[in-house]
């Protein structure tokens, strides 16, 4: 079986063609067929050619997203005392803030995953109520899970 590869300008395989009897010129227009060159049977899209050497693409191991988890008491310690006092004062009249805190105080909750969008939203909302000079910086700091 004959195998051919078509390369981009950087020498990376963008297409392969393999058939027992046909050639690229039998199935492609001339301008494209002329770009195909013979290659080993193991070559696939993504491989590179430098000189006479064919190299497979580097294997990229996906990195799991960083997950920062704290206990509920640790979560509350991420806020300054002044922030905690302000939020506690606002809580009786602010249903959204009260709902966020009630969920965190649920005795069944054993951990707070700081990577969750709902936690990001709750922290951003709470910090917006604190009228901190740079609320977005404080939100980012809290979501690191590192205590002050």
pLDDT tens sequence for the chain (148 residues): 789 999 999 999 999 999 989 999 999 999 999 999 999 999 999 999 999 999 999 888 877 777 799 999 999 999 999 999 999 999 999 999 999 999 999 999 999 999 999 999 999 999 999 988 889 999 999 999 987 6
Structural domains in the chain (count): 2
DSSP state of 43: -
The answer as to whether 24 is a domain residue is: yes
Distance in angstroms (rounded) separating the CA atoms of residues 53 and 39: 10
- Residues, the chain, total? 148
Domain that holds residue 82: 69-142
The predicted model scores a pTM of 0.56
Where a domain ends, among 10, 27, 55?
55
Token pair for 80: 């300054």
């Amino acid at each position: 079986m004959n195998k051919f590869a078509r390369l981009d300008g950087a020498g990376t395989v963008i297409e392969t063609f393999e058939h027992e009897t046909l050639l690229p010129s039998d199935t492609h227009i001339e301008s494209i067929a002329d770009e195909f060159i013979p290659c080993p049977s193991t070559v696939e899209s993504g491989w590179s050619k430098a000189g006479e050497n064919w190299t497979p693409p580097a294997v990229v191991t996906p990195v799991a997203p960083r997950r920062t988890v704290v206990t509920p008491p640790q979560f509350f310690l991420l806020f300054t005392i002044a922030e905690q006092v302000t939020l506690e004062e606002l809580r009786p009249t602010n249903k959204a803030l009260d709902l966020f805190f009630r969920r965190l105080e649920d005795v069944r909750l054993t951990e707070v995953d700081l990577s969750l969008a709902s936690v990001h939203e709750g922290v951003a909302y709470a910090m917006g109520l604190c009228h901190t000079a740079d609320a977005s910086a404080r939100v980012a700091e809290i979501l690191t899970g590192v205590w002050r």
